[in-house]
Every structure is written in structure tokens, then in C-alpha cells.
Amino acid sequence: MITSTSNPRIKNLMQLQKKGKARREQQCFVVEGLKMVLEAPSERLKAIYMSENFSGDEEQKKAVEKKAAASGCFLEVLSDKVFKDASDTMTPQGVMAVVSMVSFDWQHLILQKSGSKRMILILESLQDPGNLGTILRTGEGAGIDGVILNRTSVDPYMPKVIRSTMGSIYRVPVAVAEDLAVVVSQLKTSGTRVYAAHLKGEKSYYEQDYLQDTCFMIGNEANGLSDALADMATDYIRIPMAGQVESLNAGVAAALLMYEAKRQRTTVN
């Protein structure tokens, strides 16, 4: 049992929790909670840590031990105090794991072909980790093919994002692009319709046809899409508002767009 935060493994665990630089350098991130640990792809698990109190729950302990054995990863028990210090949550669930990242190339995401039409989401300078986590979780439900962020967006592997995805971080491809304008240009060249959620949109989002390869662009929570990126869209679309509301939360707006595309495609099929 590890009983001190000065242990090298715990120091590294805490760095992965707090520092994006550490996550990028090691290409790993931390997940917390039984669901997130058990759902993690076995081949990507690097280490699992249980709290002393959690290890007293025999059924859950056996499930974690089975997962560790299947992945061949390191498994260690921490004192409750050390576990709490290493956790990113106020009320730790007693188990966490270090998981390796999977790097996705945005060019692969926009060029890959499957039996159905693509649906890609571009997020420009999104700042709220809860929004990004919600978008990834909702995107999985709506059947998107991937999410592309720019460098000024929130780190998709920071703890709050990971918690908000409820496991979708394992299954939804996320790529980071240096220049979203280049991404949009290639999408348009490949025949993808690129829709900008924008107040200047003349048509409501449900009046468009999303049966072809589709990309939705969502901008920063405070400022929306930059004019330069919005001007590259093939179409502006708007979400109609009643009352004095000017715009919706980025996660809600993305959900409406993705599920309208899913609805249209499901209806046709």
C-alpha cells in the first residue's frame, strides 16, 4: 500500500491530473470511478489505483482486479488520504486509472469513408470543459464520426472533460488541428457541406438537408465563431429563439444540430 504522496507514482499521477503538459508528454490521462475504469480499453490501461476503503468492497475489488489482470497493468492500493489527495474530485469514488491516449489525425477523420455519410463537428476555441465533455457524450449518441478542435480549445483530456464524457472519450475520435481553416477547406473540397451555427443564418437548422456528408461548426461560448472561419461555411444556420434569449449553451446547440441530422438520416433509412 502506498501511504505517501511523495511516492514517485503518486507524484506523477497528480501531475497527470493537473498539468496538460504532463498529459501531452506522456500521452496519458487519468480517469476516475468504477464505470470509467471498467470501460477503459484493456490495451490502453497503464495503471489502476484503489483506495484502502474501496478495496474493502469485495465485489468491486474483484471486478477491478479482473480488469487489471486482463490488461496486464500495474495495480496498487493507496491509503484513503493519499487517494483523496491524488483525486480531482471532492468525493472520490475510490478507484482511478491511467489510460493511454489515442492520437487521431484530422485528415484521416475527414477523408475516411464508411457505409453511411460522415458527420463531423468542428469546435473553435471552446473553453468550458463541461461543454466539451457533453458534446462528446452527445456526439456518440448521435453517431458522429469525430470532433476536431483547434489549439485554443480546452484540453479534451483534462479531468472535468473526461468525467463529463461518461466514457465517450474512449469511443469518439478527437483530433486537434493547427489551422481550422485548412480543415474546412479540405472538407469542402471532399464534397462535405459545412454549416456554421450563426445568428446571421436565414434558415433554421431543421430546414436544411443533412443527408450528405455534413460538418457542423460551433464557436467559443462568449464570442461564437470567428468571422474568418464562419465566412468559410457553405451555409449559415440558426437556432430560432423565443423571448429575449440570444443564444444557447454550446453543448445544447451542438446536440440540436447533431440530433436533427440523425433524425433525418434515420427517417430516410
Cell 471498467 identifies what position?
A: 38
Rounded distance between C-alpha atoms, residue 88 and residue 79, angstroms: 16
Q: What is the pLDDT of residue 56?
A: 76
Nearest to 121 by CA among 52, 197, 21, 51: 197
Rounded distance between C-alpha atoms, residue 146 and residue 34, angstroms: 26
68/117 same-domain check: no
Position 187 in a domain: yes
Q: What is the pLDDT of residue 199?
A: 76
161/178 same-domain check: yes
Q: What is the pLDDT along the chain (269 residues), one digit of tens a residue?
A: 999 999 999 999 999 999 999 999 999 999 999 999 999 999 999 999 999 999 778 999 999 999 999 999 999 999 999 999 999 999 999 999 999 999 899 998 887 655 678 999 999 999 999 999 999 999 999 999 999 999 999 999 999 999 999 999 999 999 999 999 999 999 999 999 999 988 777 899 999 999 999 999 999 988 899 999 999 999 999 998 888 877 788 999 999 999 999 999 998 76
Q: What is the pLDDT of residue 36?
A: 97
126/85 same-domain check: no
19/132 same-domain check: no
142/244 same-domain check: yes
Position 25 in a domain: yes
Position 220 in a domain: yes
Position 1 in a domain: no
Q: What is the pTM of this model?
A: 0.93
Q: What is the pLDDT of residue 192?
A: 95
- Residue 194 in contact with residue 233, Cβ under 8 Å? yes
Q: What is the pLDDT of residue 109?
A: 86
Position 3 in a domain: no
Cell 504532463 identifies what position?
A: 22
Position 63 in a domain: yes
92/159 same-domain check: no
Domain end (from 65, 84, 100): 100
In this structure, the dihedral spanned by the alpha carbons of residues 136, 188, 219 and 264, taken in order and rounded to 10 degrees, is: -50
84/146 same-domain check: no
258/150 same-domain check: yes
> What is the domain range of residue 259?
106-268
Q: How buried is 65 (Cβ within 10 angstroms: 0-12 exposed, 13-18 middle, 19+ buried)?
A: middle
146/117 same-domain check: yes
Q: What is the pLDDT of residue 65?
A: 96
Domain count, the chain: 2
66/114 same-domain check: no
E-strand ranges in the chain read 28-32, 45-51, 74-78, 95-100, 119-123, 146-150, 174-177, 193-197, 203-204, 214-218, 235-238
Domain end (from 43, 68, 100): 100
57/157 same-domain check: no
112/59 same-domain check: no
CATH of the domain at 39: 3.30.1330.30
Domain end (from 100, 117, 132): 100
Position 235 in a domain: yes
Nearest to 84 by CA among 166, 162, 5: 5
Position 252 in a domain: yes
